[in-house]
Structure 1
Amino acid sequence: MLNGTYMIKNRNKNKKAASLFTPASIVLLLLGVIGLLSLADYSYNNTDPAHTTWTHYGGSPDQSRYFAAADITKENVGKMQVAWTYPSGDQQPYFFSPIIVDTTMYVMGKNNSLIAVSVLSGKEIWIHANLMGLSRRGLNYWESKDKKDKRLIFTLNNSLQAIDAVTGKTITSFGNDGYTDMREGLGREPSSIRRMQAMMPGVIYDDLVIVGSAPGEGFFSAPGFVRAYNVVSGKLEWTFHTIPQPGEFGYKTWPKNAYKYVGGVNVWSEISVDQTRGIAFLPIGSPTYDFYGADRLGSNLFGNCLVALDARTGKRLWHYQIVHHDLWDVDLASAPQLLTVNHGGKNIDAVAVATKHGFLFVFDRETGKPLFPIEEKPFPASKMPGEKAWPTQPISSLPNFTRHEVTLETLNPFFPDSIKQQWHKRLATAKSGLYIPPSDQYETIMMPGALGGANYGNTASDPKNGLMYILTQEHASTYRLKKVESPKMDLSVDQIAQVKTFYASTCQPCHGKNMEGVTGPALVNAGQYIIYTEFKDIVLGGKGSMPGFTHVSEETLEALYRYLGGTPRSFNFPRRTNTAPPKGPVVASGGATIKPDAQRSAPMTEYPAKVKHPKDRYITDYGTEWSGLAEPPWSSIVAYDLNKGTIKWRKPVGLDSLYAKGDPSKGSPGGTLRKGMVVTSTGVVFATAKGGKLYAFDADNGNILWETTLSYEANAQPSMYTLNGKQYLVINATSNFTRDSYDYSKKPGALPRGYVVYALPTSK
């Protein structure tokens, strides 16, 4: 079964209330509603209690980025000005999204510290320093019902940890002496997993934190199971196997035993929760390897699915697969939006998900039934050895928000002639279009490519009025598959003989004839998990009881490293260590002490024994260096009216919008739009965009009501809070500009790198 819906009983059905409505009264009621709709476009609600705080990454557990307050309106938003700032120091927390609890704002800042700042005074309350490896995009807040226990829950270097939100100190009773190892419970040897932590925070439901992961996108990456942990004990409460195990629903959509070696199928982005119904909505990513799937033939549930789970138990309620057997890295990367829409004359609680390839899908939140038709359409077959692209893909009937092809006619007109001629030749042999399978025989130009479309932080909504907003980008990616060669294949016969001689005389007595380890550790595929600079230092300088071998040449070192499965000078960046505590009220440093692995196992690099698999593996790079390939605009904000199933308005944003007006000096052929929005109950939509741009749009028509340029680029999700009835907008402006000519940090009057808080001027 590719897509399935599973009915949930309405737990809030009131039969007595339903009996009060007769057919005649219903007709009168509908006539009244129609009359009201004819008098006004949309009514805005300033008293929505579920959206008056910003204690979650997306404002609230539904990730709507919606805020209910009456202070800032369409009429006065043009008067917005800087209220106060908090500098981040030398630290550049590019993607960290602040949360605000009561009168405290939690930010990431100097020396990789987590900092509590008073919104009353802008002063630091406490600093927990040296949290190197803290989840880059934010954290979760939880408090007990009596408000006596307040916690910040976050991931740090593959661990889940908790800090007291009041004192800033690590809660050592959480997990195992202060942390839970997230590498455990994945069906792989935990010490072999190098990467598991998602850079996005999870989501809180009651006393659970539901978290995704980012295990990597290569062959044999770890599986991306979704898990829920108790926020007090740190104990694992439930696991949803995104790659089904034997006997589970969806197992037959994979080859037998694929769960032993396939990875990914993870939620690296934002999980949305319907608090009333207790439903968690998972936007699930692609299986690995992303662009060649001969070892995972089938539709591959639950890859690229929107999945509804019982948030308390992790039980699947329904799912819909957006892409079958993904070969294009079309993750579901943006937050599912929970809206109430008027559909077929009835108000329906819906969930809508926007995709990286420019489609919008809308479902009944309880049943999973599509509200707008979805058609399975045929697409080309793959000609790669062993590959079988799925013959059809779901196409939404809603208008798409991106283009899907690059042609000579749509090529960027601002390219110089030399570049145009280059692309004329490439386009003559390349293939471009929706769902063209990647190949080793020709280039595939995918529009939009790996960056989206809609990416993380790029969706928001007005939940009660059925309006959804998407920040979208149209950057193409170019792909061409190539066969994977073993690192040893890069060595000549003479080099292999030289390495074997060196190993036998120098390494074998301690590490074993077959690198299995004797008195020293095993070295099988050691190059996969020891960076070259570290490897070189160990061989030349020694470590522990191992002496140094200073006579070894650079050529021999590199050959030996390749023989052990590594690639010299590829991603060989030593891990930064903790630095001295910053100035200020430092209360702790480093988080919980994580015990080192007793023995570090090598990552999986080959298929398990006796498991049938393809002879060869193929890979490709992302090919995003030509992201401004098609004609602009490349970045836009799009408003959908899901009551009607139409695009309400669309506006170009950022420097791209100036480029689109024909002035190439004002734009840049490239860059990403991983930005954010805040939708207010008064009909104002705030949005950040490329080039340090910050806008306030009219929610009804997209007209710009106010705009400003930040001193630094903003790449994080904006936040909002109120204090004594006054409304504040928080922007993380800490990223560097990509073009020196538009480096506003060097302009007169520039603000320091940090968090900028905007508000209306205080009346005198």
Structure 2
Amino acid sequence: MLQNPKKPRYLSLLIIAIPLAIGLFSGCKQEDSDHHTSWTHYGGSPDQSRFFNAQEITKENVSELEVAWMFPTGDESPYFFSPIIVDTTMYLMGKNSSLIAVNVVTGKEIWIHANLNGITRRGINYWESKDKTDKRLLFTINNTLQAIDAVNGQSILNFGTNGYVDLREGLDRDPTSIRRMQAMMPGVLFDDLLILGSAPGESYFSPPGYVRAYNVVTGQHVWTFHTIPHPGEYGYETWPKDAYKYVGGVNVWSEISVDPDRGIAYLPIGSPTYDYYGADRIGSNLFANSLVAINARTGERIWHYQTVHHDLWDYDLSPAPQLMTVKKEGKEIDAVAVATKHGFVFVFDRVTGEPVFPIEEKPFPKSEMPGEESWPTQPIPSLPSFTKHEVTLGTLNPYFPDSLKQVWNNRINAAKSGLYIPPSDKYETVMMPGALGGSNYGNTAADPENGIMYILTQEHASIYKLNKVEPPKINLSDNELKKVKTMYATTCKTCHGEDMSGGVGPSLLNVGQHVIYDEFRSTVINGRGQMPGFVHVDEETLKAMYRYLGGNPATFNFRRNAETNTPEGNVVASGGAKIKPDSTKGAPMSDYPEGVEHPEARYTTEYGLEWPGLATPPWSSLLAYDLNNGTIKWSKPVGQDSLYVQGDQSKGAPGGVLRKGMVVTSTGIVFATAKGGKLYAFDAENGNILWEETLSHESNAQPSMYTINGKQYLVINATSNFAKDSYNHSKKEGALPKGYIVYALPDKK
């Protein structure tokens, strides 16, 4: 591994293994069969492998699968929920964001806990005590952690404080100023701990994404891993002084994997804010964009590897790290592998963090942005990449009409494209893959004992161009603009500065994008802290000022525990634990803390996601990566996308796999969903399609699998609408309603 001689050694040291941990864990061997015979976790098991050990469905009979039963969701909302199955009960979501318990044999509803608006969209956790007398579902909702009795569906009100834990606390920010914290993923269970990531947002000054663990019975906070190190912690020197006070993100917003026998959790950590301009975070920025192995009981770091230094491309780690036994050069290695958005696979010894395949630090272009210091090198694995890394005139979408081809010929000629080209304010940067490309969450699975990782990948570019953050230009009438300027000059300018960038008071730039109108109005009229109230300001002027600051007074204002309609069925409870309203609400952080050095200007860009089919198809593929020898065993296009395709739109081109899911079976089948309502069964050995189904609705959730009385079932959530660039199969005769479809082999007569 190359090191940069101009940088301190601690910035180049990417792997640290604790000798004690090696001795403690090296004698353990995970027995995969013990962890893959049920589906009680989001990804099947704590290792998130999506691997299922059962023998009934085979390559020879998979084509005989038929609908055994289905559970309609009862409304038109799309649900992204991945069902879990415990004994004879399936837990799913439907009927106005309600948790529903269903019998897995008959599909009959057992109970409904209604109106859980704001619940984590993609899944929940199930835990039971060793004597099985305490069974509970744990989930996040409206920035809180809550628990429900898995047997009767009632909220457990002695959990936390009055039934909930406030996840905004303990994040180096005023809790009442945090608007968003919970992740869309459910976290992962280890023993009596729930390990949670977060999704604090991607704007300047978003909260930090610390990883935390809570006791599943009491709700007590047990440990925190500071993803942005505090003074004295490892990695603190890879940031500017006091960066943890203003940098946000560096969060696990996706899937955490756990080796339950060793007690190690593997964290795929995301990018720091701001994603595309890092002049206020000069350094390599540990533990952003890093795979970190931690002690699941204590949260202590065992080892780490940073896959992107000083990220400027939103190349955060999002797929679940896959835990496998790799047979390399005659030696068995318990490994962990992680696929990335930019199309690489990194493989490490699960205990020591040593790379199983070589990784080389290679030089890349320097940023030309003022104040920016892009990292001079980036780690490139020796394993083959599974995506393109450039868009050229020769790789443009062949389905583009001639008029669009000419537009893109001009744009490509004026832009820059290629791996790790830093964003600029002078020209467009066409990144392939982009922020939603490559392998994303839900897009990896494994055959753990045989060292094969399965990857769903997408050729999705992003187009970036940085723009300086300026006060928002709002279309106000001449009269409104006059009122705003008069109000600002007479009541605001002295404290907030001539250009709204701050002085005695904080910056007001874009404050309307962070503070809801009710809070803005209350602050102006009633005052806050040293700021006096201005009761004389009329409502019309207040709304005009709010729009001038980037807000929309008509935007829906989120209310915790909002009252909603109760669905039909056996409703046993509604709304979860009642959350106490904040007595005061602080404004979200909008400027650097006093005394912290920072760049004069800030820059932002759009995500640039409006051209998903920019390059040649296939736009999405499923591939089998053999990590015993570091080769791609096979790759097959998946999904159906009618984007720019002329003629019969139902045929389309292969593409659109993003954020779907897989199930891998011990009989050598890979079930996968893809865009266009596609459901496939692939031969795990060669990628041949053994069975294919077109669903009546899109599936945007992780499939599940279970067995009961020796019979094996596949569960597909088909509740999403088809996009405009897909053929709408819900209009076909005989189409099923939105719901959870359960497939099985026909009963033997």
Normalized against structure 1, the TM-score is what? 0.89
Structure-2 change in CA distance of 1:48 and 1:242 (3 Å): same
| Deviation for aligned residue 1:268 | 0.1
> What SS class does the counterpart of residue 742 from structure 2 fall into?
strand
Question: Alignment partner for residue 733 of structure 2, among 745, 748, 761?
Answer: 748
Q: What does 1:68-147 align with in structure 2 at a 5 Å threshold?
A: 68-147=53-132
Per-residue CA deviation, residues 332-367 of structure 1 (Å, 9 max, x unaligned), is 010000000101211110000000000000000000
| Deviation for aligned residue 1:598 | 1.3
Structure-2 change in CA distance of 1:13 and 1:731 (3 Å): closer
Q: What does 1:29-68 align with in structure 2 at a 5 Å threshold?
A: 48-68=33-53
Does 2:713 align with 1:700?
no
| Deviation for aligned residue 1:204 | 0.2
Whole-Å separation in 1 of the counterparts to 2:245 and 2:698? 42
CA contact (8 A) 1:524 1:602 kept: no
Whole-Å separation in 2 of the counterparts to 1:761 and 1:750? 20
| Deviation for aligned residue 1:486 | 2.7
Partner residue of 2:378?
393
| Deviation for aligned residue 1:452 | 1.9
Does 2:15 align with 1:4?
yes
CA contact (8 A) 1:307 1:319 kept: yes
> What SS class does the counterpart of residue 735 from structure 1 fall into?
coil
Partner residue of 2:186?
201
Moved more, 649-658 or 335-344: 649-658
Whole-Å separation in 1 of the counterparts to 2:96 and 2:27? 55
Q: What does 1:313-352 align with in structure 2 at a 5 Å threshold?
A: 313-352=298-337
Partner residue of 2:161?
176
Q: Percent identity?
A: 69
Structure-2 change in CA distance of 1:513 and 1:165 (3 Å): farther
| Deviation for aligned residue 1:123 | 1.1
Q: Which amino acid in 2 is paired with 1:161?
A: Q
> What SS class does the counterpart of residue 49 from structure 2 fall into?
coil
Q: Which amino acid in 2 is paired with 1:246?
A: P
Partner residue of 2:6?
none
Question: Alignment partner for residue 215 of structure 1, among 188, 193, 200?
Answer: 200
| Deviation for aligned residue 1:743 | 1.2
CA contact (8 A) 2:37 2:53 kept: yes
Q: What does 1:575-724 align with in structure 2 at a 5 Å threshold?
A: 575=558, 577-656=562-641, 666-667=651-652, 671=656, 673-724=658-709
Question: Alignment partner for residue 472 of structure 1, among 457, 460, 472?
Answer: 457
Per-residue CA deviation, residues 643-697 of structure 1 (Å, 9 max, x unaligned), is 1110000000011599999987622698552100000000010000000000000
| Deviation for aligned residue 1:9 | 2.4
CA contact (8 A) 1:678 1:687 kept: yes
CA contact (8 A) 1:528 1:602 kept: no
Q: Which amino acid in 2 is paired with 1:479?
A: Y
Partner residue of 2:748?
763
> What SS class does the counterpart of residue 287 from structure 2 fall into?
coil
Partner residue of 1:31?
none
Q: Which amino acid in 1 is paired with 2:16?
A: T
Partner residue of 1:303?
288
Q: What does 1:145-164 align with in structure 2 at a 5 Å threshold?
A: 145-164=130-149
Does 2:209 align with 1:224?
yes
Structure-2 change in CA distance of 1:658 and 1:385 (3 Å): closer
Whole-Å separation in 2 of the counterparts to 1:230 and 1:359? 36
Partner residue of 2:551?
567
> What SS class does the counterpart of residue 427 from structure 1 fall into?
helix
Structure-2 change in CA distance of 1:166 and 1:93 (3 Å): farther
Q: Which amino acid in 2 is paired with 1:454?
A: S
CA contact (8 A) 1:659 1:665 kept: no
| Deviation for aligned residue 1:597 | 1.1
> What SS class does the counterpart of residue 394 from structure 2 fall into?
coil
Per-residue CA deviation, residues 272-321 of structure 1 (Å, 9 max, x unaligned), is 00001000000000000000000000000000000000000000000000
Question: Alignment partner for residue 468 of structure 2, among 474, 483, 501?
Answer: 483
Question: Alignment partner for residue 271 of structure 2, among 286, 290, 294?
Answer: 286
| Deviation for aligned residue 1:147 | 0.5
Structure-2 change in CA distance of 1:658 and 1:335 (3 Å): same
CA contact (8 A) 1:285 1:331 kept: yes
CA contact (8 A) 1:93 1:136 kept: no
Q: Which amino acid in 1 is paired with 2:697?
A: Y
Partner residue of 1:21?
none
Partner residue of 1:519?
none
> What SS class does the counterpart of residue 713 from structure 1 fall into?
coil
| Deviation for aligned residue 1:596 | 1.0
Whole-Å separation in 1 of the counterparts to 2:370 and 2:476? 26
Q: Which amino acid in 1 is paired with 2:555?
A: N
CA contact (8 A) 1:257 1:611 kept: yes
> What SS class does the counterpart of residue 410 from structure 2 fall into?
helix
> What SS class does the counterpart of residue 360 from structure 2 fall into?
strand
Whole-Å separation in 1 of the counterparts to 2:105 and 2:650? 42
CA contact (8 A) 2:643 2:725 kept: no
Partner residue of 2:171?
186
Moved more, 489-498 or 188-197: 489-498
CA contact (8 A) 1:161 1:180 kept: yes
Q: What does 1:378-417 align with in structure 2 at a 5 Å threshold?
A: 378-417=363-402
CA contact (8 A) 2:78 2:721 kept: no
Structure-2 change in CA distance of 1:670 and 1:429 (3 Å): farther
CA contact (8 A) 1:286 1:303 kept: yes
| Deviation for aligned residue 1:746 | 1.3
Whole-Å separation in 2 of the counterparts to 1:250 and 1:369? 19
Structure 1: gaps spanning 5 or more residues: 18-44, 516-521, 541-545
Moved more, 118-127 or 294-303: 118-127
Q: Which amino acid in 2 is paired with 1:125?
A: I
| Deviation for aligned residue 1:487 | 3.7
Whole-Å separation in 2 of the counterparts to 1:437 and 1:14? 44
Q: Which amino acid in 2 is paired with 1:422?
A: V
Does 2:284 align with 1:273?
no
> What SS class does the counterpart of residue 499 from structure 1 fall into?
helix
Does 2:317 align with 1:354?
no
> What SS class does the counterpart of residue 57 from structure 2 fall into?
coil
Partner residue of 1:431?
416
Q: Which amino acid in 2 is paired with 1:231?
A: V
Moved more, 669-678 or 745-754: 669-678
Per-residue CA deviation, residues 603-622 of structure 1 (Å, 9 max, x unaligned), is 11000111100000000000
Whole-Å separation in 2 of the counterparts to 1:671 and 1:706? 19
Partner residue of 1:732?
717
Whole-Å separation in 1 of the counterparts to 2:355 and 2:199? 29
Structure-2 change in CA distance of 1:164 and 1:252 (3 Å): same
Structure 2: gaps spanning 5 or more residues: 1-9, 497-504, 526-532
| Deviation for aligned residue 1:568 | 3.0
> What SS class does the counterpart of residue 393 from structure 2 fall into?
coil
| Deviation for aligned residue 1:13 | 6.2
Structure-2 change in CA distance of 1:713 and 1:493 (3 Å): closer
Structure-2 change in CA distance of 1:628 and 1:11 (3 Å): same
Structure-2 change in CA distance of 1:741 and 1:199 (3 Å): closer
Q: Which amino acid in 1 is paired with 2:312?
A: L
Whole-Å separation in 1 of the counterparts to 2:76 and 2:495? 45
| Deviation for aligned residue 1:443 | 0.2
Whole-Å separation in 1 of the counterparts to 2:745 and 2:218? 43
> What SS class does the counterpart of residue 237 from structure 2 fall into?
helix
CA contact (8 A) 1:488 1:562 kept: no
Whole-Å separation in 2 of the counterparts to 1:267 and 1:452? 18
Whole-Å separation in 2 of the counterparts to 1:695 and 1:642? 23
RMSD: 3.0
| Deviation for aligned residue 1:531 | 3.5
Structure-2 change in CA distance of 1:665 and 1:444 (3 Å): farther
| Deviation for aligned residue 1:491 | 8.6
Structure-2 change in CA distance of 1:161 and 1:91 (3 Å): farther
